[in-house]
Amino acid sequence: MKKIDMLADTLKDQRSKKVVFVSHCLLNENTRYLGGAFRKGVVTEIIEKLIEEEVGIIQMKCPEQWAWGGVLKKLLWLSYSSEGTMLYSFKPVVLKLFMIYTKIVYKKLAREVFVMITDYLKSGYKVVGIIGVDGSPTCGVNTKLEMKKSFEYFARQKIATGRDEFNAGLYNECAVDGKGIFFEELQRRLDSKGIVLPIIAHSLIVEMKGEKTVIRHLQNDLKNQM
Ligand code: SF4
């Protein structure tokens, strides 16, 4: 028996040896795009359930915060109200560069998460699953915002457009089926090593309507995704 296994046995403690990886904003909505936070801080129905089920919570970095210019995501807003400007006339190039840069940063972040996941698995812990955010172009699991359409939508907006009108139009015009760019990359990495983990989503669209994500038993809900 290895020394580390002997120690784990002798020093056995209360830990559940179960972890779940969650999108950053489920614990901190302060990183949502401006106008996109519908809770003060935490998505309580998800986090309370995880606490109740005694699962360790690993908060992944917010990819948009890292790639798009910090908490305010300043790069994202360059396109806002840009129709008719010089920036807009170079739209194909701008969008292409933006996507290349985004993918480089997201790949690096997805690798970090992947390394953490494999460390937990190799250490004999259970990774119960991953929880993303439907409606996000980055962390969407079943639904995402399409980037080209979103760029066009942002470009057409006026600074004075109200929050409700902005959000309603954004999701009506730009929401499509599929995984967000970061979750796609993370899934690709897991698939490449044959690691199968359940992935579920909290929905930003449901949140926007003032409703809650319904979870009966999180670990069962995650298991059912496999
Ligand atoms: S959904 Fe993902 S990218 Fe968007 S704010 Fe949350 S963690 Fe950041």
Ligand 1 pocket test: which of 73, 139, 205 has the largest number of ligand atoms within 8 Å of its C-beta? 139
- Which range of residues forms the domain containing residue 111? 13-223
Closest ligand 1 atom number to CA of residue 133: 1
How close is the Cα of 62 to the center of ligand 1, in Å?
5
Measuring CA to CA, how many Å separate 22 from each of 10, 89, 127, 185, 193?
A: 31, 38, 11, 15, 21
Tell me if 1 is assigned to some domain.
Answer: no
Tell me if 125 is assigned to some domain.
Answer: yes
Tell me if 5 is assigned to some domain.
Answer: no
Tell me if 4 is assigned to some domain.
Answer: no
Q: Encode the chain (226 residues) as per-residue pLDDT tens digits.
A: 899 999 999 999 999 999 999 999 999 999 999 999 999 999 999 999 999 999 999 999 999 999 999 999 999 999 999 999 999 999 999 999 999 999 999 999 999 999 999 999 999 999 999 999 999 999 999 999 999 999 999 999 998 889 999 999 999 999 999 999 999 999 999 999 999 999 999 999 999 999 988 766 666 777 666 5
Tell me if 6 is assigned to some domain.
Answer: no
Tell me if 146 is assigned to some domain.
Answer: yes
Query: Contact, 151 vs 76, CB < 8 A?
Result: no
> Distance of alpha carbon 148 from its chain centroid, rounded?
19
Count of domains observed in the chain: 1
Find the helix packing angle between 147-156 and 163-174, rounded to 10°: 150
Q: Is 36 in the pocket of ligand 1 (CB under 6 A)?
A: no
Three-class DSSP category at 48: helix
In DSSP terms, which residues pair with 131 in a beta bridge?
22, 200
Tell me if 103 is assigned to some domain.
Answer: yes
DSSP state of 101: H
pTM score of the predicted model? 0.94
Tell me if 7 is assigned to some domain.
Answer: no
